[in-house]
Amino acid sequence: MKNPPASAMVLAAGLGTRLRPLTDDRPKALIEVAGRSLIDRALDRLAAAGVGRAVVNLHHQAEMLQSHLAGRRDIDIVCSDESGELRDTGGGVAQALALLGPDPFLVVNADALWLDGTRDTLQRLAEAWDGRRMEALMLMQSTVRAVGYEGQGDYHMAPTGRLRRRSHGEVVPFLFAGVQILSPKLFHDAPAGAFSLNRLYDLAEGRRRLFGCRHLGVWMHVGTPAGLAEAEAALAAL
């Protein structure tokens, strides 16, 4: 793939419970980091990479987020309404497949906050994509270089990029950075209703079609008020 996909999904339906009280009166996607909302930072990246359409799923404070998105003119935005039922990450993407089209597409967590290294991150992902081998290509961040992260990691990554999920109690060197390219093939035989993308990642791993691409820049975890403050401090220091 020479360029990033034409379509992307931004996962913005989460409740943001770990960011309370900041999310009591607004969706997590509208929380600001250094004066700009998380959703606008994500959409800025997609528009700059040439993505033409972004599907955004809505649930918590859906009308507020939809009103905010109406002000964007640099990218075509289509809303996928989950106000009646929160469908989790996998169910949210599955509901939006018809809007995303038949080709591989980007999926970006609304709270994914990153700075590029020497090259554009979305372009690097696109160039690493190989539809003959892959159903999912995930941006992976080194845990020791992640701002505000204190977990045990998510995956081992082989030199070929193939991923293996960590076992219980194991500490691994890479975490999923919330940015990925997915093939619609990943959703063949996906369950109905709400389910996590992790379920499909595990199936793809079993088929040896789950891969990662190492992030070369800065990645910031903003899932808590403390992480948000640390991210703002890191941005201010640049």
Quickly count: other Cβ atoms within 10 Å of residue 47's Cβ. Answer: 17
Please state the rounded mean pLDDT for residues 2-27.
83
User: How far, in Å, CA of 148 to CA of 229, rounded?
Assistant: 9
User: How far, in Å, CA of 236 to CA of 59, rounded?
Assistant: 31
Give the domain 7-237 fold. Answer: Spore Coat Polysaccharide Biosynthesis Protein SpsA; Chain A (3.90.550)
Q: Look at residue 133 in the predicted model and tell me its pLDDT.
A: 97
Structural domain boundaries of the chain?
7-237
Interval 74-131: pLDDT, tens? 999 999 988 878 899 999 999 999 999 999 999 999 988 899 999 999 999 999 999 9
Torsion angles phi and psi, residue 224, rounded to 5? -135, 160
From the list 118, 100, 125, the residue with the least C-alpha distance to 177 is 125
| Six-digit token string for 92 | 């949210």
Interval 141-151: pLDDT, tens? 999 988 888 88
- pTM recorded for the entire structure: 0.94
Query: Given a cut of 90, is residue 209 above it in pLDDT?
Result: yes
